[in-house]
Amino acid sequence: MPDPQSPAKTPDTPLRGVKGMNDILLPAESAQWERFEDVVRRLLARYGYRNIRTPVVEPTALFVRGLGDVTDIVEKEMYSFEDAMNGDRLTLRPEATAGIVRAINEHNALYNGPLRVWTMGPMFRHERPQKGRYRQFHQLDVEALGHAGPDVDAELILMLRALWRELGLVEGRDLTLELNTLGQSDERKAHRAALVAYFQDHAAQLDEDARRRLHSNPLRILDTKNPAMQALVEAAPKLMDYLGEASRAHFDAVRAILDAAGLAYRINPRLVRGMDYYNLTVFEWITPHLGSQSAVGGGGRYDQLIETLGGKPAPGVGFGLGIERILLLLEAVGLQVGAPAPDAYAVVPDAASLPQVMPMLEQLRQAGVSVVLNAGGGSMKSQFKRADASGARMALIFGGDELARGEVALKPLRDAAAPQTLRPIADAARWADELRNA
């Protein structure tokens, strides 16, 4: 086995990034990310959610204990390693909730009451890379901690609808909501017993995965993608029939708010999600535009997780959203934004004038204008070529004669017929507005 740590064999062997981990390199691409992040920041502030940032690396035990040791993520998708310095077992976070709960517990952050928080960043899962599925991907993760009621469940779901609208996506056409309730653990236990009995009665129809999960995690059998087992799963005992009064009331209350807000959803009794920590409300937003990677984001309530991870018992609810999938979805429906262009591009025919030119560019930037300097000189022709390619609306031409008179020429780049005009250099802040709104 080659040692992945060892340097490339020869100095000229090109080094490549890790499979399934992408570079977001082109301005056209990063523009989509920045726009998404901007929209998210403004939207979450309107709902009173605050930004939180936790480490990308956590103790492996956090995820094993938090997510459950027979989940796909913990069984086969985690990037875990031993800290070479002290032997600690560490893992690159595969999801955000466990780390956030760990941080909240560790800093006793619920002491003063409930918290609404969000974070954005990379998550890591060792999955087979394909379009919409990567080994390093990014999530928007939103958590409301310390709230027990159905109001916050509905708030999170409605907030996602607001996000879709803000991005230009159309619910019903581009995204649909699936909703389910997982009840409480004693209700799930009763249901689970009925489920195990049912699957045992039909043992011959179970595939290997299902047989393995029959006693460890029978609920996950309902999540099977195996077409041969769909009919069996369809007819299995439904948790809904094992729910007590309080669980039913919680679900009904969430539904009543969504109904009143005019948000259509489909109740999917087979929606169980990939982590063991959920109870009561679970939901997922699905898109028809991304083939098999149809889940754009999902979440639910996790009222026992804080306690499971050693904190003082408190309820929680949250969701994770795949940013790459949202961006793919926006692309699929033609909602990409253009790469950002500067207001102006500074053409400098003579390098000797830079000491006069550059302080003036500073003034313009201070006044809120974005100006790209043609660094490194070059012929007028090549400078104008770059000015055009930059997408700037205006070229600022610092010709020797004009400079000598204390002036700069403004040349509109997007309108060939528009005339070139002169402005006084000393008053740059006065005509900066013209550039910004050009």
Binding site for ligand AMP (CB under 6 A): 95, 125, 127, 132-134, 137, 139, 274, 295-298, 320-322, 324-325
Least separation in angstroms between residue 285's CB and ligand AMP is 8
Least separation in angstroms between residue 5's CB and ligand AMP is 25
Least separation in angstroms between residue 130's CB and ligand AMP is 9
Taking the least distance from each CB to ligand AMP, the nearer of 137 and 199 is 137
Residue nearest to ligand AMP (CB): 322
Taking the least distance from each CB to ligand AMP, the nearer of 125 and 147 is 125
Taking the least distance from each CB to ligand AMP, the nearer of 322 and 342 is 322
Least separation in angstroms between residue 141's CB and ligand AMP is 8
Taking the least distance from each CB to ligand AMP, the nearer of 139 and 281 is 139
Structure token digits, residue 159: 């907030």
Taking the least distance from each CB to ligand AMP, the nearer of 100 and 413 is 100
Secondary structure, 3-state, the chain = CCCCCCCCCCCCCCCCCCCCECCCCCHHHHHHHHHHHHHHHHHHHHCCCEECCCCCEEEHHHHHHHHCCCCHHHHHHCEEEECCCCCCEEEECCCCHHHHHHHHHHCCCCCCCCEEEEEEEEEECCCCCECCECCEEEEEEEEEECCCCHHHHHHHHHHHHHHHHHHCCCECCCEEEEEEECCCHHHHHHHHHHHHHHHHHCHHHCCHHHHHHHHHCHHHHHHCCCHHHHHHHHCCCCHHHHCCHHHHHHHHHHHHHHHHCCCCEEECCCCCCCCCCCEEEEEEEECCCCCCCCEEEEEEECCCHHHHCCCCCCCEEEEEEEHHHHHHHHHHCCCCCCCCCCCEEEECCCHHHHHHHHHHHHHHHHCCCCEEECCCCCCHHHHHHHHHHHCCCEEEECCHHHHHCCEEEEEECCCCCCCCEEEECCCHHHHHHHHHCC
Taking the least distance from each CB to ligand AMP, the nearer of 271 and 432 is 271
Which of 431, 357, 435, 363 is closest to 400 using CA atoms?
A: 357
Least separation in angstroms between residue 30's CB and ligand AMP is 18
Taking the least distance from each CB to ligand AMP, the nearer of 63 and 398 is 63
Least separation in angstroms between residue 387's CB and ligand AMP is 38
Q: How many CB atoms lie within 10 A of CB 375?
A: 10
Least separation in angstroms between residue 300's CB and ligand AMP is 9
Taking the least distance from each CB to ligand AMP, the nearer of 127 and 171 is 127
Least separation in angstroms between residue 294's CB and ligand AMP is 9
Taking the least distance from each CB to ligand AMP, the nearer of 126 and 386 is 126
Query: CB-side exposure of 171: number of CA atoms within 13 Å?
Result: 20
140: which residues sit within 8 A by CB, 6+ positions away? 40, 118, 119, 120, 297, 320, 321, 323
Least separation in angstroms between residue 297's CB and ligand AMP is 5
Taking the least distance from each CB to ligand AMP, the nearer of 300 and 342 is 300
Least separation in angstroms between residue 124's CB and ligand AMP is 9
Taking the least distance from each CB to ligand AMP, the nearer of 318 and 342 is 318
Least separation in angstroms between residue 157's CB and ligand AMP is 14
**Total residues belonging to the chain:** 438
d(CA 119, CA 372) in angstroms, rounded, equals: 32
